[in-house]
Structure 1
């Protein structure tokens, strides 16, 4: 097997193992939170933020009002809204500060991460665990051969696409109709 094929197989095997070990009840609960929120905000840093921006865009395509914290057109968060925090460790300072602030406005907070016992747990109403290697070291954790935390960011992005597909199926949305929400100034 070539180096490319070997690397591709390792990555896709890791992603499959990770996604199949995310608790479906937690994802269903997140889907409920997204559906009942007036607006859905996203916060993260680095490559996690890039995955969250892609999720926000995908959900916007299916009619959800989404905002990335810090964007110039970000409105005020209220008690009718949801903040989705992406932080593997749950210890990254900027998302912790923003989650604390969101709770001050009585918004709901969902944390997608690896560590259920992190500092973020004091602000989270819902925790969705992406079971990759972490300090918690549980049997379902996937040990990654990829650099840094690539598996977390990849799994986060695909979890977002999974949620979008679930919404499309639940709402019987015709896929062709989604193009009306796609950017057209390109």
Structure 2
């Protein structure tokens, strides 16, 4: 009989399979783009946006200047800044417009996507390809028991959080000091 715990373990195994296929060079290039940016702007729609906000919070704890697009306190992007766009499909007019606006302002763009053939990726400083399933269920995407883009979202969260873990080695006390205290 299938249990909830067995289902959770199967989901974990699916994500492990995805993470095993991620290119270490792409992870390093993405991390380098973060560390070289004056300020970081993170964007994504739906659950990708929620994963982006979680990463933005961790970057803030790590003392990066970071903003989530769509928030009322987000300033204009400019030269020396980095736009991190999280999009499973990396298609559509809205993400493409963001990339073009950021580049026009002199900023760099890093794309996190499950689409290896994204045209907007050609404009980006770095691309982090995550070979996970999205809600589109394209032919190159793996089979998953999970609905919609769950596998992509989980993989994004773990990979980007692991970059922050690596970048903030031995900074736990400083990060704790920047954690919210008006809770």
Please name the residue that 1:185 is paired with.
182
* TM-score (structure 1 length as normaliser): 0.90
Q: Distance in 2 between matches of 1:153 and 1:93?
A: 21
Alignment of 1:124-143 (within 5 A): 124-133=124-133, 135=138, 137=140, 142-143=142-143
Q: Distance in 1 between matches of 2:19 and 2:55?
A: 16
The two structures, once aligned, show a CA RMSD in angstroms of 1.6
Q: Deviations over 1:139-170 (max 9, x none)?
A: xx54211001100011111112101101012x
Matched residue SS, 2:168: helix
Question: Which deviates more, 118-127 or 44-53?
Answer: 118-127
Deviation of 1:21 after TM superposition, in Å, equals 1.3
Please identify runs of 4+ aligned residues in structure 1 that moved more than 4 A.
none
Matched residue SS, 1:17: helix
Deviation of 1:2 after TM superposition, in Å, equals 4.2
The alignment of Structure 1 onto Structure 2 pairs a total of residues equal to 180
Please name the residue that 2:158 is paired with.
158
Deviation of 1:120 after TM superposition, in Å, equals 2.1
Deviation of 1:100 after TM superposition, in Å, equals 1.2
Please name the residue that 1:43 is paired with.
43
Q: Distance in 1 between matches of 2:142 and 2:16?
A: 10
Q: Distance in 2 between matches of 1:180 and 1:116?
A: 39
Q: Distance in 2 between matches of 1:25 and 1:47?
A: 26
Please name the residue that 1:107 is paired with.
107
Matched residue SS, 1:128: strand
Question: Which deviates more, 84-93 or 35-44?
Answer: 84-93
**Is residue 144 of structure 1 aligned with residue 141 of structure 2?**
no
Q: Deviations over 1:4-26 (max 9, x none)?
A: 12211111001111112111111
* TM-score (structure 2 length as normaliser): 0.92
Please name the residue that 1:73 is paired with.
73
Q: Distance in 1 between matches of 2:106 and 2:122?
A: 14
**Is residue 55 of structure 1 aligned with residue 52 of structure 2?**
no
Alignment gaps of 5+ in structure 1: none
CA contact (8 A) 2:33 2:126 kept: no
